[in-house]
Every structure is written in C-alpha cells, then in structure tokens.
Amino acid sequence: MDETYVGLTGPLQVRHGKTAVTAPLNQALVAAGVEAGYPETKDPNGYMQEGLGPMHMTVDSNGMRSSTSNAYVRPVIDRPNLTIHTDTHVSRILFDQNGGKDQPSPNAIGVQCTNGESIHTSHDNPNSEVLLCLGAIGSPQLLMLSGIGPAAHLNHVGIEEIVLDSPNVGANLQDHLDTYIQYECEQPTTLYPDATFPHRMLKSGLEWFGFGTGVCASNHFETGGFVRTRAGKLHPDLQFHFVAGAIVGQAEFIKRHAFQLHCSTMRATSVGTLRLRSKDPNIPPIIDPQYLSTEEDVVDYRNALRLAIEIIEQPALDQYRGQRISPSNEYDLEKDEDVDRWIRETTHSAYHPSCTCSMGTVVDGEGRVVGVDGLRVVDASVMPSVVSGNLNAPTIMLAEKMADHIKGQGMLAVEEDVEVYVARDWATSQR
C-alpha cells in the first residue's frame, strides 16, 4: 500500500492504494483506457475527473478504514456534552407547539425510542435542535412516522396526527446502479489466492493485524475512471471501478484468476419513492427506486456495457485477458435486446440512495425542515440530485457545511472560479 498521503478531508485520511501483486493489472487497465481514446487522470477528484487513473480511498496509515466513526466520533467520545445511546431505535420525533394561536408552528423537542425512552433537547438552550442523520432511507421514514410527509399517505397507513403536510418527503429517490463485466486472467496478478486459500488468507490477516499492511489494507478499488457515454455530455456520466478479482454476489470469489470492471451510470433520469409500509417503526419502508424506467437510462447503460468491454479488449490487456465470464456467450452483445436483458438481470444498487428530503422542497439550504422549528436533516437525503460519483466524501462535506450553519459560522473562503477540465470536442465527440 502506498504510504504517501494524497490528501486530507478534515480529520479523514485519504490515500491511493497500491497492492503489489495487483499493481501490473491495475496499470494495464489505465493503459487500455488510453488506447481506447480516453485521457489518463492522476486525480479524478481534482481538476480532471474525466479519464482513467488511480482512485482514492479513506484508509489510514495503519491500513484501517478512516470512517466517519473513527475520524469524527472516537476522538471526542469522552466529551461531557456527548452521550451515545447504542442499540437504540428511534420511533418518532417529539413536538410541542410555539408561536401565536393563529399560526402555531411545530417545534421539535426530542425523540421517542421503541424501548419507551424519551430523549429531549436541552431545556437550558433555546437554540437546541433535533438533527436527523439517518440517511436517505431512515430520515424520510422517521419524518413520516412522526407525522411529517404526504398527509393522504400517512392517513392511509394509520397515522392520524399530521404535524405537517409535506408531499415531497420520501419523493425524488435517486441512486446509482452498478454492474460488472468479468474476465478470466492469464497472469497470477489477482487477489484469487489471498481470498481463497486458507493459508494465504491467514498470512494476509496476520500481516494486516500485525503491521497494517498487505492485501487487507486496501479496498482494492485502486483504479477506475469517469468517462462520457456519448457525444453531447458535458461532463462524465459513467464511472468505472476495477477489481483484480471476480466475485459472485457481494463476497464470494470465483475460484480462479480473474478480474472485473464495474460500471455505474452517474446521472440517471429514473426517480423513485420511499413510502411507509406501516406506522410500526420496526417494519421497513417500501423502497421503489424505479431503476431503468426511462429510455435515456436504458440507452446510457447499454452504452456503458459496450464501452467497458471495448476498454478491456484493448492490446494493453492482451497478456492478462482470458475468456469473458460475464456476460456469457448466451448474450449477443451486438443486439440491443440481449444487452438490455443482461443489464436488467445483473444490475444492482451501488448503495448510493439520496435526495428523499431534498433541498428546496423538504429542507432549506441549511438543512432546516421547512414548516417546522428546531429540526434539521443532515445526510445525503437533502441532496437535490445525486452527485456524479461516490456519496461518501460529498456527504461528509455536506455535513461539515451544515455543522458550520448550526454553529452560526460563516462559509469558508473559496475561489469562485475554479477551472475544471472539459473535453474540447465534448459536443461532437464521445472521447
């Protein structure tokens, strides 16, 4: 693993991964992208997103995930003004009424838990607030359980006390789809031995526990890129993640040397919803993402599959590339109907749900729930539209900015006109 810092995001540690055994294969992918006509980029989070190159990961110098828990919570866990309740399921938000008789507005004063415990905001601080940070599924669910949401739907599931008729709570659900193309590998440059053979797994685990190094010190999405699926796209709308291994489902490695290239379209036009199944907080909500419900999304994903295969079949990968595992030969990739069938059979969520309490409809620009006092939402649900990349760093950035608003601090000084790369012929050329 590369021990050189490539950046810091607040207290997070950000690095490039560089696993020795898989490095040749990762480098060959970038070279293949260049051969296919795409630029090479050294920093997809900087000036030049477009192209293929090394990816960032939030991993610290000990090979541990630099999560928000490790970076933000653990360093302050002993503060006297912080109380952490574990194994606690919040069932609803508690309100009182303030304002005049003619126009009372609900005021959030705490939360009720399923174990019967009530947790209230500070009575000593009139500026105390309830902050929802439950994500794009949990935050709209809790709002609706608490009587904030589309009134007709809430009444339908048995919630009679409507605190605020807010039709857009749970609407505008956006996500990234993901699928992957798999090939056998002709060279021993993959994770297959370390992920399959017990003695290699034991060795890798001991190296990581003892020294924070080795194959366990990386997430192995060390290389990837962002490209445009067709001419007329101003910015990249397709993300690639490369893994020097082939996996069935989420965790089972194919037992031979192989690799896979994930492809995810970034700006889908399909929009879904989240609705309550029941007023019982223990029953999961109904999540209907409406994936691939527009023709534009189908065409973009069709292009994504073909572009991914085009990159893999470049000369730079000739010495590594074996037979294609997936899509299998059952699918004629020259036929749109076969490509579409394979996509619908194999795509799954990239776990980037967002936008269900979006700014401008449910919350304002500082995360405050419109129509309610003392209540904010601080998570990916407040995004108006899903970002063109992974959600981890943007959500942390959003939370940092919301924290400044909550504390009454001004915005950080930034340059207003930061130049970013745009392909010269973007309107007429796809690469």
Hey, what are 196's tokens? Answer: 């399959």
Among positive and negative, which fits the CA dihedral 389, 391, 393, 397?
positive
Distance of alpha carbon 367 from alpha carbon 395, whole angstroms: 13
Q: What is the dihedral of CA 285, 286, 292, 294, to 10 degrees?
A: -110
Catalytic residue among 123, 348, 352, 405: 352
The yes-or-no answer on residue 257 being catalytic is no
Locus of tokens 């415990």: 117
Distance of alpha carbon 113 from alpha carbon 119, whole angstroms: 8
321 and 285 Cβ atoms separated by less than 8 Å: no
50 and 195 Cβ atoms separated by less than 8 Å: no
Identify residue 167 by its one-letter amino acid code.
Answer: P
| Closest of 169, 136, 130 to residue 151, by C-alpha | 169
Hey, what are 253's tokens? Answer: 């490695």
258 and 182 Cβ atoms separated by less than 8 Å: yes
User: What DSSP line would sit under 93-110, residue for residue?
Assistant: EEEEEES-SSS-EEEEEE
Q: What is the DSSP letter of 74?
A: G
Locus of tokens 């930061």: 418
| Closest of 406, 409, 410 to residue 121, by C-alpha | 406
Residues designated as active site: 352
